């Protein structure tokens, strides 16, 4: 209802979450309109009705406990409903399905790099399948950036030194605008990208490295056709293969095995996603952030039963190598 | 009202009590110090305002208009830092508060007059550091100084940080001074339950200033150490954590939002009963809600960081707590409207600004609920929606209230009246200009236009253009205000001691007040909002 009144006030709905988001937005617009009319309407009415007139006395009133109770209780109740509604949508924004298609995202001043499992790398354009959950695992090479897709109503800061993630399931094929939203210097407003949502045929073509044909540009107000998308540069081996090369080049094999045997350090077979007991008594889950942190600050999370002898690799592994390395460790099931 | 107040009969007042530049620079009189703050704040407001107009001019169209991206990034940083640290934070407490607080309490001065003067000079030293950066390589971090960008940029961030660090001490000392003054220097009979609401608001503000500002000082100091010595605290390259900076920064800067708005609410609470000729509706609720807001202010900082990468549990808690800010705020707004009910309202400039405040602040408050709601914030944060929201609160709230207070107390401060007609024209220019500037920005943000953008996609052009045109009306309105205030100072009609027929103590002494505020210490025998049904007249400004 309010969407029609405010046509174009929010972007198109590119995901199911966007539709839920718009529902809450409509509710808040309606509620705000009600309270605005209540407050400002009352004020304007009083301005007219109770303007100063000679001999017209005022009424001595100093308050009303009943009214005060009402205007504390009613807003509190409404705010709790809004909070719960907002949290419920937010929760579904953060819980990526386990089978989500993963892409690794690296922000740097002032472009976006995307790495795929196949080993391909693209810049400022990321190709994803339609109607399938997609998860971006993101980090930055320099300062803070923000990854924002208005059509999907999602946004997440991209922070150097750690991984953050974002996920969506696109329901509208085409190119969707991406903005950097965390101020990052000179070309902050030029740090733009497109999420390119491909239908089944295009997705197959993309994965076979063939031309994918026309991809519509999704504007805020609708969809329009643009020229054909050229195929994107091929890569050297899959991401896991690249990771294996990094693993060997950086000498991980000296202390870690990939087949389950224990060397100076614990094996990496089956490490990803497992629970790890640390020497200081904590138990942590070996996710992307744990592995990255352990590579950069090994002393901070020595595994129980092992000596703290691993040197730091901080500054010795680039962000693209780190992504490949983690993909490889992840593949060691 | 049975104040045993005394009016000085002409002649000696604080303005002519002593003469010469040195008598001002070394004055211990809270009224003169208040005026010095006022002059400084208005000067910085002019500078910050010029940057705002230049920013809007650059955004008139996409592409380069008048300045390149690096200059633009400096300008929005100057605009934000100057307006927050040198204008809005000191505006009402340090300028109006210094002048009015001791008189409204029936005191001769603040508790520590020398400390008060020191606060002013500390503020100015901080300001000079910050402004000096403008003439060197500037600063381009935004007023939030987010790391690691602020550590790596080659601009003169250190100078700005030092400025903010030093100015913070002024804020702490003023807060301390006000707390002691309110506790110790109330006139006989001025019990807590009779304390004017402006004092309650300043009290709550002072508590925040004293408790929160040291955290800002520590944060800025750590940032300086990281930039100068290379100690790794916030930069991941040095083993630091950039999100930690955001926690530290907002732990101060969120309460600082209430340092900006609580005194504004205090001014509004003083003006509404006077011009409605009605007792304050829900006096206790308004007084207590200031403390409610001050308390909640300390536990909601994380709502600035919903997409920063902090834990989902933290987001859950901060969103929930933030919702409760709306409750005491709502209590105030409803009580103000309730005070007008069955009143006898006079529409002079101070009251017009109150109406403007209520319109704009209501929009600012309601859009705050959008941003407190987790999922909604994910889409709206870091866009123009946030820019519009905090301008509605900071300008629509604090600046409208500062203008209300200036027009209300101007006759008291200078013993002169301004042109009511000019004041009303200026008010409408500012109010309409403000809405034309910032309403389109809500839509821009909802459509997804990020903030701090030097350039934008063509689809955002129309709304940006409307916004820019609106900014010219705001500029014109304030320029006009400067002109008629100047004329009033030069040749305004003489103001009587109490043109608004108000009951608070500052109106029970002459305009302008004598050096010691009162000839004899006043005695208070009733609460300050005791407007009886037949007390419906005021001399006004005609």
Residues A195-215 have a mean pLDDT of 87
Contact present, A285 and A273 (Cβ < 8 Å): yes
A11/B148 CB distance under 8 A: no
Chain B residue whose CA is closest to A71: B331
Contacts of A144 in chain B (CB under 8 A): 146-149, 242
How far, in Å, CA of B378 to CA of A61, rounded? 44
Q: Determine if the peptide bond prior to A194 is cis (ω within 30°).
A: no
Query: Nearest Cα to A318, choosing from A268, A248, A243, A263?
Result: A243
Residues B420-447 have a mean pLDDT of 97
Contact present, A247 and A240 (Cβ < 8 Å): no
Q: Give me the residues paired with residue A180 across strands.
A: A147
pLDDT category, A236, cuts 50, 70, 90?
A: low
Q: Report pLDDT for B97.
A: 97
**A26 min Cα distance to partner chain B (Å):** 11
Contact present, B342 and B278 (Cβ < 8 Å): yes
Query: Nearest Cα to B402, choosing from B329, B502, B467, B478?
Result: B478
Query: Nearest Cα to B167, choosing from B102, B220, B211?
Result: B220
How far, in Å, CA of A149 to CA of A137, rounded? 15
Q: B189: phi > 0 → left, psi -120 to 50 → alpha, else beta; which? A: left
Q: Report pLDDT for A222.
A: 40
Structural domains in chain B plus CATH codes: 21-508 (1.20.210.10)
A85 near B CB under 8 A:
yes
Contacts of B447 in chain A (CB under 8 A): 8-11, 150, 220
- Within 10 angstroms of residue B183's Cβ, the number of other Cβ atoms is 11
Residue B238 burial by Cβ neighbours in a 10 Å radius (0-12, 13-18, 19+): middle
How far, in Å, CA of A84 to CA of A80, rounded? 6
Q: Report pLDDT for B214.
A: 92
Contacts of B363 in chain A (CB under 8 A): 36
Contacts of B337 in chain A (CB under 8 A): 39, 42-43, 46
HSE-up (13 A, CA, CB side) for residue B231: 8
A28/B370 CB distance under 8 A: yes
How far, in Å, CA of B271 to CA of B277, rounded? 10
Look at A82-91, A319-328, B392-401 and tell me which has the smallest mean pLDDT: A319-328
Q: Report pLDDT for A233.
A: 42
Selected residue with higher pLDDT from A208 and B341: B341
- Pairing assessment for the beta strands A193-198 and A164-169 based on DSSP bridges: unpaired
How far, in Å, CA of B107 to CA of B178, rounded? 12
Q: Report pLDDT for A308.
A: 82
Question: For the residues of A138-163, what is the DSSP string, one character each?
Answer: EEESSS-EEEEEGGGTEEEEE-BTS-
Query: Nearest Cα to A194, choosing from A206, A181, A217, A177?
Result: A177
pLDDT category, B442, cuts 50, 70, 90?
A: very high
Give me the long-range contacts of B477-481 (CB less than 8 A, separation at least 24). B477/B426, B477/B427, B477/B428, B477/B429, B477/B430, B477/B433, B478/B45, B478/B49, B478/B426, B478/B430, B480/B422, B480/B425, B480/B426, B480/B429, B481/B403, B481/B423, B481/B426, B481/B430
Question: Residue A130 carries which DSSP code?
Answer: T
Nearest to A93 among B366, B378, B450 (CB): B378
Query: Nearest Cα to B141, choosing from B220, B41, B56?
Result: B220
How far, in Å, CA of A179 to CA of A174, rounded? 16
B375/A90 CB distance under 8 A: yes
Query: Nearest Cα to A15, choosing from A217, A154, A175, A116?
Result: A154
Q: Report pLDDT for A224.
A: 42
B531/A58 CB distance under 8 A: yes
How far, in Å, CA of A320 to CA of B99, rounded? 61
A residues 243..272 contacting B (CB < 8 A): none
On the question of pLDDT at A234 being above 60, the answer is no
A184/B149 CB distance under 8 A: yes
Contact present, B463 and B389 (Cβ < 8 Å): no
Contacts of A24 in chain B (CB under 8 A): 373, 375-376
Q: Give me the residues paired with residue A113 across strands.
A: A106, A123
Q: Which of helix, strand or coil describes residue B483?
A: helix
Question: Residue B82 carries which DSSP code?
Answer: I
A227, containing H or E segment: none
Look at A223-237, A287-301, B13-27, B212-226 and tell me which has the smallest mean pLDDT: A223-237
B320/A83 CB distance under 8 A: yes
A220/B447 CB distance under 8 A: yes
pLDDT category, B296, cuts 50, 70, 90?
A: very high
Contacts of A43 in chain B (CB under 8 A): 337, 340, 355, 358-359
**A234 min Cα distance to partner chain B (Å):** 31
- Within 10 angstroms of residue A278's Cβ, the number of other Cβ atoms is 16
Q: Determine if the peptide bond prior to B162 is cis (ω within 30°).
A: no
A83/B454 CB distance under 8 A: no
How far, in Å, CA of A124 to CA of A121, rounded? 10
How far, in Å, CA of B503 to CA of A177, rounded? 59
B340/A148 CB distance under 8 A: no
pLDDT digits (tens, 9 = 90+) for B47-98: 999 999 999 999 999 888 899 999 999 999 999 999 999 999 999 999 999 9
Nearest to A188 among B337, B341, B453 (CB): B453
Q: Report pLDDT for A220.
A: 57
Question: For the residues of B499-512, what is the DSSP string, one character each?
Answer: TT---SGGGGS-SS
Structural domains in chain A plus CATH codes: 2-94 (1.10.287.90), 101-224 (2.60.40.420), 239-331 (1.10.760.10)
B63 near A CB under 8 A:
no
Q: Give me the residues paired with residue A140 across strands.
A: A107, A160
Q: Give me the residues paired with residue A284 across strands.
A: A276
Q: A315: phi > 0 → left, psi -120 to 50 → alpha, else beta; which? A: left
Q: Report pLDDT for A1.
A: 36
B375/A10 CB distance under 8 A: no
pLDDT digits (tens, 9 = 90+) for A274-313: 999 998 889 999 999 999 989 988 888 889 888 887 888 8
pLDDT digits (tens, 9 = 90+) for A121-168: 888 899 999 999 999 999 999 999 999 999 999 999 999 999 999 999
A62/B280 CB distance under 8 A: yes
pLDDT category, A223, cuts 50, 70, 90?
A: very low
A47 near B CB under 8 A:
yes
| φ, ψ (nearest 5 deg) of residue A112 | -115, 135
Q: Which of helix, strand or coil describes residue A181?
A: coil
Chain B residue whose CA is closest to A314: B237
**Helix B349-372, helix A65-94: angle, nearest 10:** 40
Contacts of A159 in chain B (CB under 8 A): 236, 242-243, 308-309
On the question of pLDDT at A230 being above 50, the answer is no
Chain B residue whose CA is closest to A94: B312
Query: Nearest Cα to B409, choosing from B250, B267, B290?
Result: B267
pLDDT category, B241, cuts 50, 70, 90?
A: very high
pLDDT category, B377, cuts 50, 70, 90?
A: very high
B464 near A CB under 8 A:
no
Chain A residue whose CA is closest to B149: A143
pLDDT averaged over every residue in chain B? 93
CA distances from A146 to B6, B92, B343 (A): 62, 35, 51
Nearest to B375 among A24, A62, A190 (CB): A24
Q: Report pLDDT for A226.
A: 40
Contacts of B335 in chain A (CB under 8 A): 63, 68
pLDDT digits (tens, 9 = 90+) for B454-484: 999 988 999 999 999 999 999 999 999 999 9
Nearest to B358 among A40, A57, A187 (CB): A40
Residues A26-55 have a mean pLDDT of 95
How many CB contacts within 8 angstroms connect chain A with chain B?
274
Contacts of B239 in chain A (CB under 8 A): 297, 314
Residues A195-212 have a mean pLDDT of 89
Chain A residue whose CA is closest to B69: A186
B residues 202..221 contacting A (CB < 8 A): none
B149/A42 CB distance under 8 A: no
pLDDT category, B10, cuts 50, 70, 90?
A: low
Query: Nearest Cα to B375, choosing from B319, B447, B314, B296?
Result: B319
pLDDT category, B182, cuts 50, 70, 90?
A: very high
Contact present, B380 and B307 (Cβ < 8 Å): no
Q: Report pLDDT for B64.
A: 85
Q: Report pLDDT for A51.
A: 95
pLDDT digits (tens, 9 = 90+) for A244-262: 888 887 778 878 888 888 8
Q: B405: phi > 0 → left, psi -120 to 50 → alpha, else beta; which? A: alpha
């Amino acid at each position: 209802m309010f969407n029609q009144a405010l046509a174009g006030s929010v972007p198109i709905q590119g995901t199911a979450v966007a539709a839920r988001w718009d529902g809450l937005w409509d509710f808040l617009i309606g509620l705000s309109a009600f309270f605005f009319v209540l407050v400002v309407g009352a004020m304007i009415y009083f301005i007219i009705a109770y303007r100063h007139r000679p001999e017209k006395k005022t009424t001595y009133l100093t308050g009303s406990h009943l009214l005060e109770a009402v205007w504390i209780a009613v807003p509190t109740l409404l705010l709790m409903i809004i909070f719960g509604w907002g949290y419920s949508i937010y929760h579904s924004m953060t819980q990526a399905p386990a089978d989500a298609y993963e892409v690794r995202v690296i922000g740097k001043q002032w472009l976006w790099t995307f790495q795929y499992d196949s080993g391909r790398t693209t810049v400022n354009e990321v190709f994803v399948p339609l109607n399938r959950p997609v998860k971006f695992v993101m980090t930055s090479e320099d300062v803070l950036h923000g990854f924002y897709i208005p059509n999907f109503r999602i946004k997440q800061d991209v922070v150097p030194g750690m991984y953050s993630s974002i996920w969506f399931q696109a329901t509208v094929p085409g190119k969707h605008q991406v903005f950097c939203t965390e101020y990052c210097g000179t070309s902050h407003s030029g740090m733009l990208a497109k999420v390119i949502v491909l239908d089944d045929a295009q997705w197959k073509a993309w994965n076979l490295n063939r031309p994918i044909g026309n991809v519509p540009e999704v504007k805020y107000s609708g969809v329009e056709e643009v020229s054909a998308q050229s195929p994107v540069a091929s890569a050297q081996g899959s991401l896991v293969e690249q990771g294996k090369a990094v693993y060997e080049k950086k000498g991980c094999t000296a202390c870690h095995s990939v087949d389950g045997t224990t060397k100076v350090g614990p094996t990496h077979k089956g490490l990803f996603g497992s629970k790890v007991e640390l020497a200081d008594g904590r138990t942590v889950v070996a996710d992307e952030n744990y592995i990255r942190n352990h590579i950069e600050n090994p002393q901070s999370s020595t595994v129980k039963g092992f000596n703290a002898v691993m040197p730091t690799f901080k500054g010795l592994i680039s962000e693209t190598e780190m992504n490949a390395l983690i993909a490889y460790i992840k593949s060691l099931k | 009202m049975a104040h045993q107040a005394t009016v000085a009969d002409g002649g000696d007042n604080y303005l002519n009590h002593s003469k010469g530049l040195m008598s001002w620079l070394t004055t211990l009189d809270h009224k003169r110090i208040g005026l010095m703050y006022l002059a400084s704040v208005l000067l910085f407001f002019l500078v910050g305002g010029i940057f705002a107009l230049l920013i809007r001019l650059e955004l008139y169209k996409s592409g380069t208009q008048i300045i390149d991206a690096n200059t633009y990034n400096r300008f929005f940083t100057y605009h934000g830092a100057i307006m927050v640290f040198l204008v809005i934070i000191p505006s009402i407490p340090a300028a109006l508060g210094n002048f009015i607080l001791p008189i409204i309490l029936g005191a001769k001065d603040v508790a520590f007059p020398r400390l008060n003067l020191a606060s002013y000079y500390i503020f100015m030293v901080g300001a000079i550091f910050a402004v000096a950066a403008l003439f060197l390589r500037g600063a381009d971090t935004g007023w939030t100084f987010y790391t690691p960008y602020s550590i790596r940029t080659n601009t003169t961030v250190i100078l700005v940080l030092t400025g903010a660090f030093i100015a913070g001490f002024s804020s702490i000392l003023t807060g301390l001074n006000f707390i002691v003054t309110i506790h110790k220097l109330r006139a006989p009979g001025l019990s807590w339950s009779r304390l004017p609401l402006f004092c309650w608001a300043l009290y709550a503000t002072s508590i925040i200033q004293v408790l929160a500002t040291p955290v800002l000082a520590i944060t800025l100091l750590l940032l300086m150490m990281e930039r100068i010595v290379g100690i790794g605290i916030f930069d991941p390259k040095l083993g630091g954590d950039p999100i930690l900076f955001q926690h530290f920064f907002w732990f101060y800067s969120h309460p600082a939002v209430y340092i900006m708005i609580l005194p504004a609410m205090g001014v509004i609470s003083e003006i509404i009963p006077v011009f409605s000729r009605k007792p304050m509706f829900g006096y206790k609720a308004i007084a207590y809600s200031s403390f409610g807001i001050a308390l909640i202010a300390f536990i909601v900082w994380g709502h600035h960081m919903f997409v920063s990468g902090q834990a989902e549990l933290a987001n859950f808690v901060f969103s929930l707590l933030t919702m409760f800010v709306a409750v005491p705020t709502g209590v105030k707004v409803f009580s103000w409207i309730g005070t007008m009910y069955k009143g006898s309202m006079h529409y002079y400039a101070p009251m017009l600004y109150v109406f403007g405040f209520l319109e704009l602040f209501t929009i600012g408050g309601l859009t705050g609920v959008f941003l407190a709601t987790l999922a909604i914030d994910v889409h709206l944060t870091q866009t123009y929606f946030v820019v519009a929201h905090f301008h509605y609160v900071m300008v629509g709230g604090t600046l409208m209230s500062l203008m209300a207070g200036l027009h209300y107390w101007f006759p008291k401060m200078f013993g002169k009246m301004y042109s009511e007609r000019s004041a009303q024209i200026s008010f409408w220019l500012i109010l309409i200009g403000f809405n034309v500037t910032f309403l389109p920005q809500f839509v821009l943000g909802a459509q997804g236009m990020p903030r701090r953008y030097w350039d934008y996609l063509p689809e955002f052009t129309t709304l940006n253009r409307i916004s820019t045109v609106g900014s010219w009306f705001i500029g014109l309105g304030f320029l006009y205000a400067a002109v008629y205030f100047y004329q009033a100072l030069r040749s305004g009609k003489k103001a009587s001691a109490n043109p608004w027929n108000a009951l608070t103590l500052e109106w029970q002494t002459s305009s302008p007040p004598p050096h010691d505020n009162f000839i004899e210490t006043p005695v208070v025998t009733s609460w300050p909002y005791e407007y009886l049904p037949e007390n419906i007249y005021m001399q006004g400004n005609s």
